[in-house]
Amino acid sequence: MASNQETRPGIGAVAKDLGTGKIGLVMGEVGGKVQLRPLSGGLEWDAERDQVVPTKAREELSARLASVNERSRWGR
């Protein structure tokens, strides 16, 4: 069985914060917290390390599509 460290998403990976249900890019890890940034850009948020998990392919695709749609609405 894989350890938690092996299954934890690394920097640059798309991950889900189970505490909020939000999906974002892993930007870093400091003091037991993981910093995630929305796929569409914006401010990072902190998530508890044990609440950050890799996304399923369907979740990532849905989040990326939502990000593209959001950017197109705002002309970015």
Read off the CATH number of the domain in which 8 is found: 2.30.30
12/2: higher pLDDT: 12
Domain that holds residue 10: 4-71
Quick check: is 33 in a domain?
Answer: yes
Q: For residue 76, is it within any domain? A: no
CA–CA dist 19, 26 (Å, integer)? 15
Tell me which of 41 and 24 has the higher pLDDT.
24
pLDDT over 70 at 44, yes or no: yes
Residue 19 forms part of a structural domain: yes
Is residue 56 in some structural domain? yes
The pTM is what?
0.81
Per-residue model confidence (pLDDT) at position 6: 55
Task: For residue 41, give the 3-state DSSP assignment.
Answer: coil
Hunting for tokens 């197109």 — which residue is that? 72
pLDDT at 72: 83
* Tokens 């990532």 sit on residue: 60
Residue 47 domain-assigned (yes or no): yes
Dist CA 72 CA 55 (whole Å): 24
Number of domains in the chain: 1
